[in-house]
Structure 1
Amino acid sequence: MIVKTVFNNNALLALDEDGQEMVLLGKGIAFQKKAGQTVDEERVEKKYRIDAEDLNEKFRRMFSEIPAANLILGMEILEMAEKELHTRLNRETYIGLTDHISYAIERYSKGEKIRNALLFETRKFYPDEYRTVRKALKMIQHETGIRMEDDEAGFIAMHFVNGMQQGEAMQQTMAVTKMVSDIQHIVEYHYQIKLDESSLNYMRFVTHISYFARRLLNRELSDGDDPELLAQLSTRYPQAWACVKKIDRYLRELHGIPLTQDEYIYFILHVNRVCTR
């Protein structure tokens, strides 16, 4: 195999014998390597085929920010999920899934755990994905010693759900796409900025909107009861709060459905994050 692009010392993009692009991971596999040189295949620990050229930049950014051990763990979990769910998850899933797992490992190591208000719904509507995530959590515990809770299982399960959307009705796909685009425009207009569409924060933001849009269209929204947290966030992030109120107005006018209290909380956090980093 021939080196095409070096991401970091432990990850590179290569061309195999058939000219197909593959991401290769392994300790020191890309150290002092340049495009056109031969890959030291003895150092290859994991291989991952890329289907779309436009993913290269996203992979490069991810590899520059996430530890190699977490990249390999994310790949192993994705491969396990595809076997368990008897499907092929879209390639974007690896990026979103690995980013989430790495961030969760970092959070848990600091004792920072997030409550998942949609855990009950995730278990109810996506039981196969949830059961698969329980195996993923055992893999994470084996590799890191960190035991993650059910709330985290719910978050990861939604990455699997999102990765399996290739077969959904075209009408719903178009509706979700339009809603994501409209909400992005609302955020950009409110903040008078252009979001960096190549950033991981943007990808997290779009992933949340996509999950939300599908739940809204399927009438799967739920409402928690944490007015104190919502009040705290509205005070702490007043600009994000004002922006989310515009999103709420848009949804009321277009779909006749207001944002629930939980969705207000999630949107405030995601909007603030994508617009302040």
Structure 2
Amino acid sequence: MRINRILNNNVVVVKEGDEEIIVMGSGIAFGKKKNDVIVVDKVEKVFVMKDKSEYEKFTQIIDQLPEIHIVIAEEIISWAEKKLKTKLHEHIHVALTDHISFAIERHQQGFQLHNKLLNEIRVLYAKEYEIGLWAINHIKNRLSISLPEDEAGHIALHIHTAKMESSTMTQAVNTTTLLNELIEIIEKKLEVKLDQDSISYQRLLTHLNFALRRMEEGQPFQDVDEEMHQLVQEKHRSSYQIAEQLKEYLASCYQYELPVSELVYLTLHIQRINRNKLKEVEE
């Protein structure tokens, strides 16, 4: 491989036909110039950015951001691909690198952005969240900078949306935000702060997430017979009323039509939480 363009000491571009390939490695371009042969032993990572706009953004980032931030971001991306056993969308090289550099800059300036969706992200995207935790620990080891756990959530969302078949970042954030709003309604009505580590919370959140996905994609819901519907409605009246309020909220604020059958399942999830609350009061 011969160098076509040097981006910095650690990143070069080579050409194979009409395709430009990004090659990374510590000091791979040190003392080199265009058309020089790359030392294979120095190559640590090779990838192609087929989207021209993404390639241009990546080269701009390389010009503007500290080299160590770029190296760390690529190490995190490599770790994520290894753990998830999949290639991430090429946009991750731009989006995550820019985010991590900005997060480090904010931290150094004494600013911290609270991640209101952290609890939901931790449950819905567990594997990506583990990668996020690994990432902030990796940054600490590399730079002696302790980023808050909130950043693990931000990184997890970037990783999640970069999976080839995943939704866009906007879709992921919108869904997670809506789930957070629904949880807040339940907490307010039950007058309780949900334990995010409890099985009841995780089951509720997962169920709500799948319900939203079905509505977005127009998938059918599992039906329940009228007898079961009536039994749940009468036996768990207060929990059923909360489920109805969630249905009304989704309809009025998001134009989502939750089927009546789904109220049964939501009621049972809410009732489980309510029952746990009553046990704690009795104790």
- TM bucket normalised to smaller: 0.5 to 0.7
**Identity over the aligned pairs, expressed in percent?**
27
What is the match of residue 66 of structure 1? Answer: 65
Aligned pairs (5 A) from 1:1-277: 1-15=1-15, 21-27=21-27, 29=29, 33-34=33-34, 37-41=35-39, 44=42, 46-54=44-52, 55-164=54-163, 166-168=164-166, 207=169, 209-215=170-176, 220-222=179-181, 255-256=254-255
Give deviations 1:226-272, integer Å, cap 9, x for gaps: xxxxxxxxxxxxxxxxxxxxxxxxxx999437xxxxxxxxxxxxxxx
TM-score scaled to structure 1, two decimals? 0.59
Query: In structure 2, what residue type is equivalent to 1:33?
Result: K
Query: Residue 121 of structure 1: CA displacement?
Result: 0.9
Choose 1 or 2 for highest CA Rg: 2
Cα displacement (A) at 1:11: 2.5
Change (3 A) 1:52 1:156: same
The letter for the 1-side match of 2:255 is G
Partner of 1:201: none
> Is contact 1:97-1:156 (8 Å) kept?
yes
Alignment deviations for residues 163-187 of structure 1 (CA, whole Å, 9 cap, x no partner): 11x225xxxx6xx6xxxxxxxxxxx
Residue ranges of structure 2 left out of the alignment (5+ in a row): 186-250, 257-283
Return 114-123 or 81-90, whichever deviates more: 81-90
- Structure 1 spans left out of the alignment, 5+ residues: 177-206, 226-251, 258-277
* Structure 1 residue matching 2:181: 3-state secondary structure: coil
Question: For residues 66-118 of structure 1, what are the alpha-carbon distances to aligned partners after superposition, in whole Å with 9 as ceiling and x for unaligned?
Answer: 11111111111111111112222111112111111111111111221111111
Aligned CA distance change for structure 1 residues 18 and 30 (closer, same or farther; 3 Å): farther
**Could you state the TM-score of these two structures normalised by the residue count of structure 2?**
0.57
Q: 8 Å contact 2:28–2:43 — kept in the other structure? A: no
What RMSD in Å do the two structures reach over aligned CA positions? 3.3
**Closer/same/farther in 2, CA of residues 86 and 28 from structure 1, 3 Å limit:** closer
- Relative distance call for 1:8 and 1:30 in structure 2 (3 A) is same
Given that 1:62 and 1:99 are in contact with CA atoms closer than 8 Å, whether structure 2 keeps it comes out as yes
Deviation at 1:42, TM superposition (A): 7.0
Report the AA paired with residue 2 of structure 1.
Answer: R
Q: Highest relative contact order (Cα 8 Å, sep 6+), 1 or 2?
A: 1
Q: 1 CA distance for matches of 2:41 and 2:29? A: 6
Label 1:255 to 1:210 Cα distance change in 2 as closer, same or farther (>3 A).
Answer: same
Q: Compared with structure 1, are the counterparts of its residues 3 and 119 closer, same or farther at alpha carbon in structure 2 (3 Å cutoff)?
A: same
Per the alignment, residue 194 of structure 1 pairs with: none
The C-alpha deviation readout for 1:95-145, integer Å capped at 9, x for no partner, is 111111111111111221111111111012111111121111111000000
1:248 corresponds to: none
Q: Would you say how many aligned residue pairs link Structure 1 and Structure 2?
A: 190
Classify 1:253/1:8 alpha carbon distance in 2 versus 1 (closer, same or farther; 3 Å). farther
